[in-house]
Amino acid sequence: MSVPSVSKPFLWWCTVLTVIILLCVIVYRTGAAWYHNHQLRKDFSAAVPASPYQQGTPLEQMDLGAYSSYFPGISGEPEYSLTHRIEAPVSLKYYTEIPTDETAVALEIPKGTMIEAIPEDTQGSSFYELGYGYTSYPTYGKGWRYVRPFKTAEAASPGLGEEYYYIKIDHLEAVLDAAIRANKPFRAAVRQQHWALNQGTHTFARLIDEALYQNGAYLSPDLFYRILDRWNLMLLGATAIVTVVLLRTGAGFPRARR
């Protein structure tokens, strides 16, 4: 028995519906990002006197230890054993300044290098140390962080020092993602907040930013959502493809009877 073919008008309306759904998703995600950014600006109450961040002080001249008071009670023993060392999931490139096209890499930890993602001896939480690894300070440029490099197994590694460098937040988020996957306490913390893994990574990477914001010290550019992020661009591409299909099948549009 033959299966009846799907009519062209039906396919046409299905394509139209798909375009409408994609556009609605794009509008919703764009609107949510815009609203989030608007609320950040609206609700930010700058501290008095103005913090070094508010005054535009270069990070190299700041006393970053002054912000440690924003993190009371973060120490404690973990409920589970921790995997402190993991392989770097990406090459970590550190710079002495936010780079331009001519800026050379000051320090690089190659992909696959064993790094101390979770400090074994720290004054803060068992899970992170302020200003080390992926627990970085925001800069004045979106996507760039100020931090001490991860320690490696090599005794002579520059990463063992206390010097701060600039690095892309995407690289630190890659390490944080791997650290969460490798450690049960991190995964449990993400689940308790009912977050997806990428949301937990995003939030943990901006731990210092949130504390600065709550204390009126700084509205970090990394707290803002991208209006046209990767997913919105993908959805726009899908919408364009479906629209092309719709136009090519326009002949299938149901015509009114005379």
Burial 129-165 (b: 16+ CB within 10 A, else e): bbbbbbbbbbbeeeebbbbbbbbbeeeebebeeeebb
pLDDT at 222: 97
> 221 φ, ψ to 5°?
-65, -20
Cα-trace Rg, the chain? 24
* pTM for the full predicted model: 0.81
In Å, what is the CA distance from 33 to each residue of 129, 211, 229?
A: 30, 21, 10
Question: Could you tell me whether strands 137-138 and 144-147 are parallel, antiparallel, or unpaired per DSSP bridges?
Answer: antiparallel
Amino acid identity for residue 21 in this structure: I
One-letter amino acid of 251: A
Give the whole-angstrom CA distance, residue 31 versus residue 29: 5
pLDDT at residue number 89: 97
Low-confidence stretches of the chain (pLDDT beneath 50): 1-3, 155-156, 159, 251-252, 258
**Contact 125/99 with Cβ under 8 angstroms?**
no
